[in-house]
Amino acid sequence: MRRILVTGAATRTGGRLIQNLERTFDTKVFAVDDLDPIEDFSSPFERLSIDQLAFARFLLDVKPHTVVHLQTVDRSALLGATRAHEESTVGAQALFGAIGRCTTVRHVVVKSDGAVYGAGPRSPSILSTDSKPRRAGGRYQRDLEQMETFVREIAEQHDHVDYTILRLAPIFGPTIRNPLSAYLTLPGVPTLLGFDPRLQLISERDALDVFLHSIDNPVPGTFNVAGKGQLYLSRILRLGRRVPQPLPKRAFHAALRGVARSGIPLEKHTIALLKHGRVMDTSGMEDTLGFSPFLTCRQTTMVAYGRASAGIEL
Amino acid sequence: MSYDELSSLTKAELLDRARAIDLRGRSKMTKAELVAALFAAESEEDTAPEEESGPMIPIPGVSQEDRVEARARRTELYDRLADLVDQSRLCEWRSIEGHGCGLPVVREDDACALHTDRNRYDAAVPITGRLGFDTWPTLFRHLHLATYDIDAIGLDPVLHEMAWHVFNGLYYDYFRVDVDGIENIPMDGAAMIVANHGGAALPYDAAMLALAVLNEAPTPRRVRVSATEIYNMLPWVSHMYRKVGAVYATHEDARHLLERGAMLGVFPEGESGFMKPVWQAYHVQRFGRGGFVQLAEQTGTPIVPVAILGAEEVHPTLGVSRRLAQLVRFIFPQQRVEEIAVFLNPVPLPVRWRIRFLPPVMPENPGVEPDPLRMLERSEDIRRSVQSALDTLLAARGTAFS
């Protein structure tokens, strides 16, 4: 019996991952989050905040073989910057401390984000996992970096556990509701005048598959995960038949605050992304991890805007 | 067909002929007008080839003989480019939303320049097989439908081609660039082109260097010239410089390109190259810390030194200003400019340029990290070779404009 613990089960990707794992043979899933799940699943769900010691005790009780850490999205808009920062860093400390103590854990799969590289005028155009990080992002970038450091330290100190860190490009799809996808599907999209960032995307199905793949094939290491190719923001909007609204800096930020009030809180790291863009080198994902996304960035965009069918069940 | 023969046809037949040559306003013409218009169109066709390029607009400072020569050089380039594509076969690529491609196929390939995988971002095969403003509707269609992929750095082959055509005006007619030693450019595989820098912060030399390789090499190759981070901060410049094929100067980007066999253009002098006043022009400054040598050794890339004569006189730098830099920092607070070169002419001077490609310098121990002193020595050797080539070119020419 394979026992898998999933944090961040309340997110759409988390819920779907659990649904998919439930369908696989001889697998028992334990789901944890401090919010109510969006997706329905039958596995036991514990409503725990990962930065509490109760969570660490729960992990030690459950004795999982694999831990999937998905609770790494930026929740600063939802919880406030301080609380989100605390949950992220103290949560990572508690989680990986518990994993170090729990000798049944063989493998940890961690969802990181491309935001760990930041986005700024001094960022290289193409980021690989071995390029040294440049300080360009805000708190979220630091939190992610710290979380990744915890993972590496734990894996170094304890022989029984190894880790896979997946740095995902923004997830984009017809049913996912993250701030960036909500922003991209606005009828008129405010953009920063004179800037056209290069973006990489990953379809929601591929974002799910890469976790299923790395749970089944534990390849230790850090990998960038994104669909093949890259697109300028202007092209994404053109493919989606959205009208860009180029605004100068102040009007752009004012427009984003207006958008935030209507329920799409774009975090600082996403706004930086919309100015400078980010493209990651995904050769490690294809060669070492052995995963190739089903959809390219262009196809992801077409599918997300409902202009093409993916030919797959989402 | 004579005027009488045309008059003997029926109006329907005349309309068919008019449609065949796409005569404007044919539906509103009377029969007599149609005959006259068709006759005029047919007689025009006989004389057309001689005056296809239209009248020459005089450019101050450029002689008529130079213009005629520029036209001949362009024609020669267009002939060379026309051989790169096979107009008889059309690309069969189709997007998932059903847009067809319909562009001519690259010779010895199955797809057009936008949809082939082979050397897509290296060989600059013209998309429609030629350059010209009349191809721009086709180019805009592909740009608008986004039927092709950009590369990881951000090169947009369509915008690259548009810029190529526009800047050819400067290259052939205004700066009248003379190129020699083009055979020193490797026709495949990675190479690093190292040149002296001038032009008072406006990258004319980068554009002309890229155009020299595009226009004079047997098959046009793209040179990815590298730019500093200021380009990432300026509105419009921030994405246009990538789209037309330049790259941001970091080791990561450079290594990414060189490992994929691309050609990289580097100006190791940096800002000390174009900040020096005009009376010190063509005194090549120190080549930075020699980081380009380190990169070439690590990736096993040959270095082609290039001497560019002309760039340092198009905007004669009279001095540097700290006040102006303060103003720029006030408008763009992110920028860290300390000094700005001051020049008086808003329009570049019509200097006659000369670009000389020198024999490539091979890496000493490919894949091995060179020691810091060796890096400096080698970069100094390359700087000296560029300097001596510049001195030879300077001695050989009369005035800057002749």
CA distance A178 to A215: 24
**Contact predicate B302/B382, CB 8 Å:** no
Is the model's pLDDT at B49 over the cut of 60? no
Q: What is the mean predicted confidence (pLDDT) over A55-69? A: 94
Alpha-carbon Rg for chain A, nearest whole angstrom, is 19
CA distance B84 to A22: 56
β-partners of residue B192 are: B264, B303
Is the model's pLDDT at A195 over the cut of 90? yes
Q: Helix (H) and strand (E) counts for chain A?
A: 12, 13
- What are the tens digits of pLDDT across the range B159-176? 999 999 999 999 999 999
Preferred mutation among A195, A203, A239, A280 to probe B, highest tally of B CBs within 10 A: A195
CA distance A78 to A294: 32
Q: What is the mean predicted confidence (pLDDT) over A87-107? A: 92
Q: What is the mean predicted confidence (pLDDT) over A129-140? A: 76
- What are the tens digits of pLDDT across the range B246-274? 999 999 999 999 999 999 999 998 888 88
Amino acid occupying residue A307: R
Both tokens of residue A212? 């299923």
The distance from CA A274 to its chain's CA centroid, rounded to whole angstroms, is: 17
Preferred mutation among A122, A126, A299 to probe B, highest tally of B CBs within 10 A: A126
Residue found by looking up tokens 């010209």 in the block: B132
| Chain B contact residues (CB < 8 Å to A) | 96-97, 144-146, 149-150, 152-154, 156, 229, 232-236, 238-239, 242-243, 247-248, 250-253, 256, 334
Indicate whether A245 belongs to any domain.
no
Confidence of residue A45 (pLDDT cuts 50, 70, 90): very high
Higher per-residue confidence, B290 vs A110? A110
Q: What is the mean predicted confidence (pLDDT) over A168-187? A: 92
Amino acid occupying residue A216: D
CATH number at residue A40: 3.40.50.720
Return the domain boundaries, chain B.
Answer: 3-42, 64-149, 160-396
Please report the sign of the dihedral spanned by the C-alpha atoms of residue A167, residue A172, residue A175, residue A179.
Answer: positive
Q: Residue A167: which of A111, A88, A211 has the closest Cα?
A: A111
Of A194, A239, A276, the CB nearest to B236: A194
Which residue segment(s) compose the domain that A42 sits in?
Answer: 2-172+203-226+279-292
Task: Please give the tally of structural domains in chain A.
Answer: 1
- The H-assigned helical ranges of B24-98 are 31-47, 64-82
β-partners of residue A47 are: A33
Flag the least confident range among A228-242, B40-54, B154-168. Answer: B40-54
Chain B residues inside the 8 Å CB shell of A195: 235, 238-239
Indicate whether A257 belongs to any domain.
no
**Contact predicate A127/A279, CB 8 Å:** yes
Indicate whether A84 belongs to any domain.
yes
Q: Could you confirm whether domain B160-396 is CATH 3.40.50.2020? A: no
Q: What is the mean predicted confidence (pLDDT) over A43-60? A: 91
Cβ–Cβ of A121/B242 closer than 8 Å? no
pLDDT of residue A82: 87
- What are the tens digits of pLDDT across the range B124-157? 999 998 899 999 999 999 999 888 889 999 999 9
Chain B residues inside the 8 Å CB shell of A232: 150, 154, 156, 239, 243
pLDDT of residue B319: 85
